[in-house]
């Protein structure tokens, strides 16, 4: 994709981001922080969704120590730069959250995890967290209708790897949760590590070891001590029961973002993102209306949903720009494009700024994916 050069040089000091740990104290830059270059080329001030197409489903995002943003997606068969074909956890990079390029894949056929014996199992819904000097890349290994999907982790020295698979953390039978996929790992301010996961059979949480590579204690202890944080434990697939959890901490509370509805029916997909919050990492979580999220399905406060331009919007992650603004990164179907790219669901990459109301609840302006919105503020490096 076309790269757009920066023409403003910012002398603000950049503070490195810790994955999934947020700060509310960052102040926007002032005009005194800006020095105009001698170039006559104008810096674009707006962007259009999607920011990458045709496909980057279930996006995870992190900012590397180099200041570059890296996004990871579900294994899909699509066009990646100049190459058409399957990419096993494709990786994109961007200097500004808007202009993305394909960089690599986390796995290759020879290095792809094989611990799930279900025929056709693929790498779904990645998550990426830096713990110490190591980048932990979490993945779900599953196939449609898989009777026993699970979650594993690979490690690497940089956002681009190379990644070495560390194997399975648990599968559905191990942990006692039907359809155990869609993991999100959160490193709390006390450095304790938690995993949230689940797909339409309740969202659960469990503590991991300090390196994030296994459950804390034995798998039997984790199975007994796991916490239901959203939805109901119905031992079956129910689209009102949430998937794609993601955790941030803002305003002294933990916010859990969830997706609900149908993900993969093209322009008819009903996927949307909702949010709830808690004073404690393991809950209880409530939505804005005061509903306890484990009371029943189909709760949560809307964050972004379908509009005239996009359908099937969901499975998000969150990243901050250099002005301290939070941006939701998610996928959706562009209604002005064919919903399929060959046989692949055309779930393109979207970003939007989160706005916070007077009661500290986040949403996308207008509750729909934008066209022509103001770009994220990123300090040039």
Tell me the pLDDT of the chain (381 aa) as tens digits. 433 333 333 333 333 444 444 433 344 443 333 333 333 457 789 999 999 999 999 999 999 999 999 999 999 999 998 889 999 999 999 999 999 999 999 999 999 999 998 989 999 999 999 999 999 999 999 999 899 999 999 999 999 999 999 999 999 999 999 999 999 999 999 999 999 999 989 999 999 999 999 999 999 999 999 999 999 987 777 777 899 999 999 999 999 999 999 999 999 999 999 999 999 999 999 999 999 999 988 999 999 999 999 999 999 999 999 999 999 999 999 999 999 999 899 999 999 999 999 999 999 999 999 999 999 999 987
Under the phi-then-psi rule, with left for phi > 0, alpha for psi from -120 to 50, and beta for the rest, what region is 118? beta
Q: How far, in Å, CA of 47 to CA of 353, rounded? A: 12
Other CB atoms within a 10 A radius of the CB of residue 380 amount to 18
C-alpha atoms less than 13 angstroms from C-alpha of 358 in its C-beta half-sphere: 0
3: in domain: no
The answer as to whether 92 is a domain residue is yes
Q: How far apart are CA 293 and CA 296, in angstroms?
A: 7
Both structure tokens of 120: 């056709």
Contacts of 21 (CB under 8 A, 6+ apart): 187, 188, 189, 249
Range of the structural domain that residue 302 is part of: 8-374
pLDDT for res 375: 98
Q: Which pLDDT does position 41 carry in this prediction?
A: 57
Establish if 266 belongs to a structural domain: yes
CB neighbour list of residue 261: distance below 8 Å, 6 or more residues apart: 239, 269, 270, 271, 272, 312, 314
Nearest CA to 231 out of 280, 290, 300, 150 is that of 300
Residue 19 lies in a domain: yes
Residue labelled with tokens 């189909």:
298
**79, 80, 84, 88: CA torsion to nearest 10:** -110
Domain-embedded: residue 133: yes
The per-residue pLDDT for 352 is 99
Residue 249: which residues within 8 A CB-CB, separation 6 or more?
21, 22, 188, 189, 255
Alpha carbons 33 and 12: distance in angstroms, whole number: 6
Structural domains counted in the chain: 1
φ and ψ at 199, to 5 degrees?
Answer: -145, 95
At residue 119, the pLDDT reads: 87
Q: Looking at the domain assignment, is residue 200 inside a domain?
A: yes
pLDDT of residue 241: 87
- Between CA 216 and CA 6 the distance in angstroms is 45
Pick the closest to residue 312 from 297, 294, 333, 286 (CA basis).
333
379 domain residue, yes or no: no
| Long-range own/partner contacts, residues 86-90 (CB < 8 A, 24 or more apart) | 88/112, 88/122, 88/123, 89/123, 89/126, 89/137, 89/139, 90/56
The 10 Å Cβ neighbour count of residue 132 is: 10
CATH number at residue 358: 2.115.10.20
Q: Does 380 fall in a domain?
A: no
Among 186, 148, 183, CA closest to 22: 186
Give this prediction's pTM: 0.89
Strand partners, 210: none
- Sign of CA pseudo-dihedral 112, 118, 120, 125: negative
């Amino acid at each position: 994709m076309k790269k757009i050069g920066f023409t403003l040089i910012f002398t603000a000091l950049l503070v490195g981001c810790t994955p999934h740990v947020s700060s509310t104290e960052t102040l926007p830059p002032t005009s005194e922080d800006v020095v105009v270059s001698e170039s006559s080329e104008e810096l674009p001030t707006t962007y259009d969704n999607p920011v990458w197409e045709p496909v980057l489903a279930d996006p995870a995002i992190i900012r590397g120590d180099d200041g570059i943003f890296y996004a990871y997606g579900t294994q899909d068969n699509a066009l990646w730069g100049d190459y058409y074909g399957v990419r096993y956890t494709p990786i994109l990079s961007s200097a500004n959250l808007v202009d993305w390029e394909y960089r690599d894949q986390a796995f290759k056929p020879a290095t792809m995890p094989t611990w799930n014996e279900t025929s056709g199992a693929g790498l779904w819904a990645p998550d990426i967290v830096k713990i110490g000097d190591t980048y932990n890349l979490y993945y779900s290994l599953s196939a449609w209708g898989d009777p026993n999907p699970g979650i594993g982790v690979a490690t690497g020295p940089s956002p681009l790897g190379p990644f070495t698979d560390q194997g399975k953390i648990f599968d559905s039978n191990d942990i006692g949760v039907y359809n155990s996929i869609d993991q999100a790992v959160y490193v709390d301010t006390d450095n304790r590590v938690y995993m949230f996961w689940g797909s339409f059979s309740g969202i659960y949480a469990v503590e991991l070891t300090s390196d994030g590579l296994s459950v804390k204690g034995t798998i039997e202890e984790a199975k007994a001590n796991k916490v239901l944080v959203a939805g109901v434990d119905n031992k079956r697939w129910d689209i009102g029961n949430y998937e794609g959890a993601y955790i941030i901490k803002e305003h002294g509370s933990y916010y859990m973002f969830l997706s609900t509805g149908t993900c993969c029916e093209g322009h008819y997909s009903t996927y949307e993102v909702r949010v709830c919050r808690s004073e404690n990492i393991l809950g209880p979580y409530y939505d804005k209306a005061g509903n306890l999220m484990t009371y029943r399905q189909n709760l949560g406060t809307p964050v972004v949903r379908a509009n005239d331009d996009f359908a099937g919007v969901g499975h998000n992650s969150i990243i901050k720009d250099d002005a301290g603004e939070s941006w939701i990164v998610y996928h959706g179907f562009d209604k002005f494009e064919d919903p399929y790219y060959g046989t692949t669901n055309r779930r393109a990459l979207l970003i939007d700024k989160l706005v916070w109301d007077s009661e500290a609840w986040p949403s996308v302006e207008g509750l729909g994916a934008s066209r022509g919105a103001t770009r994220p503020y990123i300090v040039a490096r």
